[in-house]
């Protein structure tokens, strides 16, 4: 009788072995809706296939020495939704890597050594989030993505990009967050951002942009946050922000701006309190600074560190706050 009683329990244990297994050196967290596997700062040199639960929905492998990953590795986890491969030694990806994970919506590959990626590499899964920051990518190919990508967040920061093809943006009709910071971009094509009509957050910090075309942002009507700090911008078109009725945060600090064209800041109808940063620019405090001076007087609460917007010249006003200037000093 006892042996007959134990048979169903033995069968159940065998059937569920895959569900409750866990790769060596990794930790597994199982809940009714999610099976998460985390391999963090462990001496892995290969993908941890053995013991990986077949119902894994979230997989994190970070700070290891794995240098390759294949379609076969991921096919073993067909329910995978999130894949985070931070700080490893991945230098390339196979084009069919995500073919066997039809539910995958979030991929992060930050801090690897990725350079050239094959066509269609991100075309086989309904990705919404794609993070490729801090790699060695020097060129972006529109063929990486399907024609009507579901991406809402794309992070290409910290790479070696000198340009981004307009054809890529034409596939990103749903994109809301784009990060191109800390690359080597010297210019943006006038219409390159126009397909991104749903874009809400654009980060161009830490590039080499010296000019912007008047129509650069004219089609990004949903933009709320624009980060242009740490570039080489010396002047701005008078109507640059005319088509941005929802812009709440604008960072222009750490550029080469000496003057603001009259009317430019009047277009910022939705700027939050302390939402505008103009610090660390070489402001020339002559008669042309009058517009900036008057606007700052009326909109102090909208400006971050308003008293730190300093004159760089003339010598007699150097290191004076623009806010503190008097009518006579401006020759009014």
Could you report the per-residue pLDDT of 179-219, keeping only the tens digit for each? Answer: 999 999 999 999 999 999 999 999 999 999 999 999 999 99
13 token code pair:
């244990």
Task: Spell out a b/e string for 298-324, using b for 16 or more CB atoms within 10 Å of the CB, else e.
Answer: eeeebbbebeebbbeeeeebeeebbbe
Per residue in 102-138, pLDDT tens?
999 999 999 999 999 999 999 999 999 999 999 999 9
> Is the pLDDT at 15 greater than 60, yes or no?
no
Closest Cα partner for 24 from 6, 42, 36, 8? 42
57 and 36 Cβ atoms separated by less than 8 Å: yes
Q: At 250, give phi and psi (nearest 5°).
A: -135, 120
Bond before 137 cis per omega within 30 degrees: no
Fold category of 19-164 in CATH? 3.80.10
What tokens does 62 get? Answer: 């970070």
- Number of Cβ within 10 Å of residue 73's Cβ equals 18
DSSP assignment of 206-269 equals TS------TTTTTT-TT--EEE--SS------TTTTTT-TT--EEE--SS------TTTGGG-T
Q: Between β-strands 82-84 and 106-108, what pairing exists: parallel, antiparallel or unpaired?
A: parallel
Using pLDDT thresholds of 50, 70 and 90, give the confidence band for residue 14: very low
| Entry pTM | 0.91
Whether 288 has a pLDDT exceeding 80, the answer reads yes
Res 330: pLDDT: 80
The pLDDT score that the predictor gives to residue 331 is 74
Instruction: Tokens 């700052």: give the residue.
Output: 296
């Amino acid at each position: 009788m006892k042996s007959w009683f134990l048979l169903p329990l033995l069968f159940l244990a065998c059937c569920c072995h895959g569900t409750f297994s866990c790769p060596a050196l990794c930790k597994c967290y199982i809940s009714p809706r999610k099976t998460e596997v985390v391999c963090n700062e462990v001496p892995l040199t290969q993908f941890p296939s053995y013991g990986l639960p077949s119902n894994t929905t979230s997989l994190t492998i970070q700070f290891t020495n794995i240098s390759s990953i294949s379609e076969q590795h991921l096919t073993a986890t067909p329910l995978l939704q999130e894949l985070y491969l931070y700080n490893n030694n991945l230098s390339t990806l196979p084009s069919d890597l995500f073919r066997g994970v039809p539910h995958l919506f979030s991929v992060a590959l930050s801090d690897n050594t990725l350079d050239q990626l094959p066509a269609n590499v991100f075309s086989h899964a309904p990705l919404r989030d794609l993070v490729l920051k801090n790699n060695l990518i020097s060129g972006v190919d529109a063929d990486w993505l399907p024609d009507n990508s579901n991406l809402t967040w794309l992070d290409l920061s910290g790479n070696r990009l000198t340009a981004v093809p307009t054809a890529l943006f034409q596939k990103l009709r749903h994109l809301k967050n784009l990060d191109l910071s800390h690359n080597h971009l010297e210019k943006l094509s006038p219409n390159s951002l126009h397909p991104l009509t749903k874009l809400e957050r654009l980060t161009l910090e830490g590039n080499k942009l010296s000019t912007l075309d008047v129509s650069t942002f004219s089609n990004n009507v949903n933009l709320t946050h624009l980060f242009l700090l740490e570039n080489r911008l010396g002047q701005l078109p008078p109507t640059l922000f005319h088509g941005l009725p929802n812009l709440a945060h604008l960072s222009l600090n750490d550029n080469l701006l000496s003057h603001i064209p009259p009317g430019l800041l009047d277009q910022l109808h939705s700027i939050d309190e302390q939402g505008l940063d103009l610090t660390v620019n070489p402001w020339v405090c002559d008669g042309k600074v009058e517009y900036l001076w008057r606007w700052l007087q009326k909109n102090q609460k909208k400006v971050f560190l308003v008293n730190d917007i300093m004159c760089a010249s003339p010598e007699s006003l150097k290191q004076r706050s623009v806010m503190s200037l008097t009518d006579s000093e401006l020759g009014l």
